[in-house]
């Protein structure tokens, strides 16, 4: 049974992430979404909120049999604990490559049993990132084309709270 890990900050999850997840599900027997608890940048949503939004988004999109976990340590340790043979990452454009290249080779150096697999997201999401979605939502823009409704609602609530603060 080939299990793939799909790690990320998912702050928040977008249709671009869900597109990559569906592609991974066609390649591997099982795919596990792993939400990192302490991402490089300060997240808008807590680890619990990000993990909950991933689960809600999967349900809203009718995606079944995908386990959602969170991890606070190294990605390779999470992969090893789950018995993953691959780490799946989405590539949007060449701008992603340098960062992913460094991640992949460093992870391989730490554990050569875990292979990084890169999947191209659909063209219609190639410009999409969680950061740009948050930027649009921050200014009250419509993000319904980019994220599931549960995520759009969470963004609207989060920025309404911030405006009141
Ligand atoms: O969605 P992101 O922020 O691009 O995901 C990056 C992520 C979470 C995959 C990466 O930052 C990560 O796995 N962090 C956990 C610590 C770790 O293993 N770092 C990689 C060392 S090469």
For residue 62, give the nearest of 122, 148, 1 by alpha carbon. 148
Mean pLDDT by 10 residues, the chain (165 residues): 97 98 98 95 96 98 98 97 97 89 96 94 94 96 98 96 80
Q: Where are the domains of the chain?
A: 3-164
* Dihedral sign computed on CA atoms, order 133, 136, 138, 142: negative
For residue 3, what pLDDT is reported? 98
What does CATH list as the number for 3-164? 3.40.50.620
Ligand 1 atom, smallest distance to 76 CA: 18
Say which residues have a Cβ less than 8 Å from residue 47's Cβ, sequence separation at least 6.
Answer: 35, 36, 37, 38, 70
- Residue 150 CB: number of other CB atoms within 10 A? 20
Q: Identify whether the C-beta of residue 93 lies closer than 8 Å to the C-beta of residue 59.
A: no
In this prediction, residue 122 carries a pLDDT of 94
Q: How far away, in angstroms, is 74 Cα from ligand 1 center? A: 8
Predicted TM-score of the model (pTM): 0.95
């Amino acid at each position: 049974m080939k299990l793939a890990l799909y790690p990320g900050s998912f702050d928040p999850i977008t249709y671009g992430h869900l597109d990559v997840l569906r592609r991974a599900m066609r390649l591997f027997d099982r795919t596990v979404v792993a939400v990192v608890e302490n991402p490089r940048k300060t997240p808008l949503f807590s680890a619990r909120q990000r993990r909950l939004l991933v689960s809600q988004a999967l349900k809203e999109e009718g995606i079944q049999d995908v386990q959602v976990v969170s991890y606070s340590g190294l990605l390779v340790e999470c992969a090893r604990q789950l018995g993953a043979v691959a780490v799946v990452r989405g590539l949007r454009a060449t701008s992603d490559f340098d960062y992913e290249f460094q991640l992949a080779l460093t992870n391989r150096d730490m554990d050569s049993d875990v292979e990084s697999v890169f999947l191209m997201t659909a063209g219609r999401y190639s410009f999409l990132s969680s950061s740009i979605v948050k930027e649009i939502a921050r200014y009250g823009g419509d993000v319904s084309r980019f994220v599931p409704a549960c995520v759009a609602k969470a963004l609207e609530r989060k920025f309404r709270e911030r405006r009141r603060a």
